[in-house]
Homo-oligomer: A and B are copies of this chain.
Amino acid sequence: MAAAVVANGKKKLEQIGPKIGVISSPTNPMVTPLLTDLYQFTMAYAYWKDGKHNERAVFDLYFRKNPFGGEYTIFAGLEECIKFIAHYKLTEDEIAFIRKSLPPSCEDAFYNYLRGIDCSDVEIFSIPEGSVVFPKVPLMRIEGSIAVVQLLETALVNLINYASLVTTNAARHRFVAGKSKLLLEFGLRRAQGPDGGVSASKYCYMGGFDATSNVAAGKLFGIPLRGTHSHAFVSSFMSLDEITERSLKHLDSPKVCKDFVCPVKTWLTKLKRSRLLGGIFSETNQSELAAFTSYGLAFPGSFLALVDTYDVMRSGVPNFCAVALALNDLGYRAVGIRLDSGDLAYQSCEARKFFQTIEKEFGVPGFGKMNITASNDLNEETLDALKKQGHEVDSFGIGTHLVTCYAQPALGVVFKLVEINNQPRIKLSEDVTKVSIPCKKRCFRLYGKEGYPLVDIMT
């Protein structure tokens, strides 16, 4: 396998500790030996009862078809699998629950056997996490006592399935967006449960995203965090009178602007009177202007505003520019705007023109390059459509479609017995595609002279 022995049971893992570090427990404390299907325990009992539980078995973990109608998959989830295996140990409380769940006729000695199980005899051979992989080639080969390896099956498949799916989805978004765009994962609220959100953030980063809005993921994995404010922040303000703390220090001098609302108002009037810009808007929304001013006062060095609460070009963009220009006078450089509804291509082009006009008309260097972030139900197709239409967006905030893998919400990773006691095993099926390939395999990826991969070979 284009691979290495990654885990070799807890003991050996600890021996190679200095190389791969001490293995921490699974990110989600819910990843325990009970995170499995009941039949793994009923089978374990049947194997044990028959004295067959310690037979050496080889399982392949693989998938049958690339997701999203695509031609590749990114393998992910391995690290969490290793954490799970390294810490595999049933507690007394868990054993008591298993006893309650199996028929009372099951013998007591079986629970002693469960008590003693760890993964010190389990060997995992794996393709490195983050690799481009293809159908039917084993991603992981798991060897060990048949009963123990079966007990691992469900959690391993669970941990690889969604991880690989969402990493692949992120990589596909990156491919469509191009290298130069900033991609932000904004999916937590729409994800399938709390760790659907947290793992989505981890694996989207692995798949090529630049940052996440998810604070927990930022803390757990060190992923850069991004975020500004919501529509509710904007509509929570009524007028500029609400702004009580108005003073703002110049960035590079001890001077203080005592009433920051003043230059904001002045700039808005200048924009309105501008020959080139004045026609675009008349009165802007005052609660929005208050919200932007307040936000600018709180974050003068990283001012980024959501401009579509009322009307992007007739209110949001001019209000943003008034605050950004007032900040500019104090030495601060605003970051940009976010668009979250409507025709993103058109709006981004209009906003860009507005910024560029300001740069020229008022001589503010760099103002035309203001960052434009777009969000609102984006996915691979809409990214592609935006590209074709032409747009001025620098960053995309992508949520629902990315993290739930809307276009295909499951990857069919399977876990098949291919050898037991050195004898090859096959699963036949009425569905030809479900027939497994027997035997322990070695897999190679062949590279051409130029260093490009050509083909994967299994022997």
Contacts and interface: CB of A to CB of B under 8 A. Distances in A.
Interface of A: 26-32, 34-43, 45-47, 49-52, 55, 57, 59, 94, 97-98, 101, 103, 105-106, 146, 150, 153-155, 157-159, 161-163, 166, 186, 188-200, 213-216, 218-219, 225-236, 238, 242-245, 294-295, 297-302, 308-312, 341-343, 347, 400, 404-406, 409-413, 415-417, 420, 423, 425-431, 434
B105 A225 contact: no
Contacts of A49: 245, 294, 297-298
Nearest to A301: B103
Given A37-B189, A39-B229, A425 B236 contact: yes
A158 B197 contact: yes
A66 B428 CA distance: 41
Contacts of A36: 188, 214-216
Contacts of A238: 423
B410 A406 contact: yes
A291 B215 CA distance: 50
Contacts of A35: 188, 194, 197-198, 214-216
Contacts of A101: 215, 218, 225
Contact of A150 (B39, B47, B232, B294): B232
B294 A42 contact: no
A405 B409 contact: yes
A236 B52 contact: yes
A150 B420 contact: no
Contacts of A312: 430
A234 B146 CA distance: 12
Contacts of A105: 299-301
B193 A430 contact: no
B98 A230 contact: no
Given A158-B188, A193-B158, A243-B50, A417 B38 contact: no
A301 B161 CA distance: 35
A297 B198 CA distance: 44
B150 A42 contact: no
Contacts of A229: 39, 42-43, 46
A308 B409 CA distance: 27
Contact of A194 (B159, B297, B308): B159
Name the residue among A28, A59, A153, A410 with the largest chain B CB count within 10 angstroms: A410
21 contacts: A26-B194, A30-B194, A35-B188, A35-B216, A36-B215, A37-B227, A38-B213, A39-B229, A40-B227, A42-B298, A50-B242, A105-B301, A106-B298, A158-B197, A161-B189, A162-B191, A191-B192, A196-B196, A235-B426, A400-B412, A404-B409
Contacts of A195: 28, 30, 193-196
Contacts of A106: 298
Given A192-B200, A308-B430, 6 more contacts: A36-B188, A37-B215, A50-B245, A192-B409, A193-B193, A232-B417
B302 A97 contact: no
